[in-house]
Structure 1
Amino acid sequence: MDAAPAIFDRRLRARRRDRAARDFARHDFLYRAMLDELLDRLADVRRDFRDILVVGCPDASARERLEAIGAHVTCVDPGQVNANANDGIQADEDALPFAEDSFDLVIACGTLDSVNDLPGALILMRRVLRSDGLMLAAFPGAGSLVRLRAALMAGEGDYAAAHVHPQVDVRAAGDLLSRAGYAMPVADAETLTVRYASLFALMADLRGMGASNIMTERAPHLTRATLARAAEHFAAAADADGRTSERFVIVYLSGWKPDPSQAKPARRGSATMSLAQALNPKN
């Protein structure tokens, strides 16, 4: 099998997350929204999970909240600083260093949008689950950062280059879940709107959450003139109070490692599986 293309620079990804670790709490709104929703969905699952793998741990909140319910939590992060802070392991999602059947639950929060081999990462997360184990994931997907993308294109004019990561839409994410072998796969999305006083405030948030450009083939640094034009374009879209709305589309995934005891899915195309049924497939 051919290796996945190296869209993202793994070393730069780790460095950016390490750099963001110190001040992450000032820019954690997106991670917080994703984690809260994942844990809300987990609360709807009527079973206990003893051994949990958390993929993406920019702070201790996921580990602490899961340990509070009596679980043993193992943390993995692409950044060494984050991993060390959680007594975890530094690793990429498509190279998880765990044996099969190690965990009852995998929660991947906020990192799968920048992994080189997303199908491989989903397969590995399924493999490390025990039979009838659950995977929950969230990441920014297609439709995010439309104002930023438009502003940068306007700033560069006829010489526009890619500065925003390629994004996975919810339909493609659902297809990947099925191809990765999950039972009862569910993919859905919600939109978070954040209002900014300037383009530079948005860019500061992205740097602060470790989400700036890490593509292997990065465009040259933006010139001051280009940034000035981009900032003007961004400001031109502002509301009466001078703030511009930016959009983050969050893709949520859930799937189970197959087990003979699970309910059988409805025939293809019948669309009768609800999120509640998918989270509790034995009911």
Structure 2
Amino acid sequence: YAYLRDEVANRLVERLDDIHESYRFAEVIDLGCGTGHVRRALSTLGNSRGIERLREFDMSEAMLERSRADLAVSPPVHGPEGDDFAVEHILADEEELGLEKESVDLIISCMGLHWVNDLPGTIRMIRRALKPNGLFLCAFLGGETLAEMRSSFVLADLERRGGVSQHMSPLVSVADAGALLQASGLALPTVDTEIISIGYPDAWTLWHHLRAMGESNANLHRSTASLDNMLAAAATFREVYGDGEGNVPATFQVIYLIGWAPHESQQRPLARGSAQLSLKDLGLPDDGAGRIKLDDDVTDLGTMLGGKPKDEDAK
């Protein structure tokens, strides 16, 4: 049942290909390693990033044991000098890692941070642990995940109970994710999102897979859905979202975050008022106060620069 997390790990690690090859990450942490999804994805790069030590953190001893077992039968991943990079397994809560300040080159988290209670505090802790110009690379489930299942339960609850219960854990929106990066002090923040759609024979199979993945409802005060409600939700799911052949879709919104620990070599915006060009240098008329002056028949800057007027596009 690791197919989703393995796929996201591969897509997350692929983002290292977008970073200049001169960057090297000797000390790497996989935060919430599970069974070693990120390690397996990193092996496909042939360690082109000069990893010397990978520390796999997880709060579950059972997951660490499975990662150790997987490592024992996995092909070696060679380090920068041809040797295998060291892999360590550490039992720790994501919110209490105890990492030394400026000690890590790269921290990766794949499908783990949406379970953290104090997400802002955890990202600040990650920022503190990164060396200057160190990289934080993260993927977690966003608020649009399983929208079909959510709406099916709402309709079933309203029909059978006359009210709505929360059947899913709260998840972060894309806008909130960007705000978290900026508030943590990480530089050059980047947020993007993908939708992964997976088909299942029925809602019951989906729920079974979610539980096996460890992605079921984690609310402390969650209410247990009755069999009657489950049957109603499954029927609604099939009727509203089914493809007519008995299959139902499940969409997973994956939010990717990239942030860098500040460093003097990073580009910064120029100070306000330091521009060396004016509108006159561009050959555009201004109103004397530095603002573009538009003709009466021009409604936008695109038209002045040679584009079609909006009313022509409408025609």
**Same fold at TM > 0.5:** yes
For residues 78 and 156 of structure 1, what CA distance do their matches in structure 2 show? 34
* Contact 1:108/1:137 (<8 A) preserved: yes
Q: TM-score, structure 1 length as denominator?
A: 0.80
Aligned to 2:61: 80
3-state DSSP of counterpart to 1:95:
coil
Residue 55 to residue 35, structure 1, CA distance change in 2 (3 Å): same
Query: Max radius of gyration: which structure?
Result: 2
* Contact 2:38/2:110 (<8 A) preserved: no
* Aligned alpha-carbon RMSD (Å): 1.8
Aligned to 1:172: 176
Which digits, 9 at most, give the CA deviation of each residue in 1:183-240, with x for residues without a partner? 0001110111111211111111111111111112211x21111111111111112012
Aligned to 1:118: 119
Pairwise CA distance, 1:81: 1.3
- Describe how 1:65-76 pairs up with structure 2 within 5 A: 65-66=41-42, 68-69=46-47, 70-71=50-51, 72-76=53-57
3-state DSSP of counterpart to 1:264:
coil
Aligned to 1:39: 13
Aligned to 2:149: 148
* Contact 2:168/2:218 (<8 A) preserved: no
* Contact 1:184/1:265 (<8 A) preserved: no
Percent identity between matched residues is 32
For residues 147 and 198 of structure 2, what CA distance do their matches in structure 1 show? 12
- Describe how 1:85-234 pairs up with structure 2 within 5 A: 85-86=67-68, 87-157=88-158, 158-219=162-223, 221-234=224-237
1:62 equivalent in alignment to 2:62: no
Which consecutive unaligned segments of at least 5 residues does structure 1 have? 1-26, 269-283
1:242 equivalent in alignment to 2:223: no
Pairwise CA distance, 1:267: 8.3
Pairwise CA distance, 1:260: 1.0
* Contact 1:92/1:115 (<8 A) preserved: no
For residues 76 and 183 of structure 1, what CA distance do their matches in structure 2 show? 24
Provide the aligned length of Structure 1 versus Structure 2: 241
Please say which of residues 51-60 and 247-256 is displaced more in the overlay.
Answer: 51-60
3-state DSSP of counterpart to 1:171:
helix
Residue 103 to residue 229, structure 1, CA distance change in 2 (3 Å): same
Q: TM-score, structure 2 length as denominator?
A: 0.72
3-state DSSP of counterpart to 2:95:
helix
Pairwise CA distance, 1:243: 1.1
Letter in 1 for 2:103: S
4+ aligned runs moved over 3 Å, structure 1: 64-68, 84-87, 265-268
Letter in 1 for 2:55: T
For residues 51 and 190 of structure 1, what CA distance do their matches in structure 2 show? 28
Pairwise CA distance, 1:65: 4.6
For residues 132 and 213 of structure 1, what CA distance do their matches in structure 2 show? 37
